[in-house]
Amino acid sequence: MADFQTPDEVKALIDAAGGPTELARRMGFAKATGRQRVAMWKMAGKIPAMVVRAYRPFFKRIIAKAQQKEAA
């Protein structure tokens, strides 16, 4: 998983973070609109490229942690 642009990758990322509300919180988005913003990514199956570029290391850490939990 590298580009976070396929629907499966987007869903896996959001689920691994704990859902739209938790991912929005961890990204520092405004509480009122952040959850909706992330939920829209999940529905669309795509995260805007500028967001992926800005948060790629953060997203990769979330996925890596989820994979470690699965392996344990």
Answer whether residue 56 is part of any domain: yes
What pTM does this model have? Answer: 0.89
What pLDDT was estimated at residue 2? Answer: 57
Q: pLDDT at residue 26 above 50?
A: yes
Answer whether residue 1 is part of any domain: no
Answer whether residue 62 is part of any domain: yes
CB 20, CB 38: distance < 8 Å:
yes
Answer whether residue 2 is part of any domain: no
Domain that holds residue 34: 7-71
Answer whether residue 66 is part of any domain: yes
Q: pLDDT at residue 1 above 60?
A: no
**Domains in the chain, number:** 1
What are 38-69's pLDDT values in tens digits?
A: 999 999 999 999 999 999 999 999 999 988 98
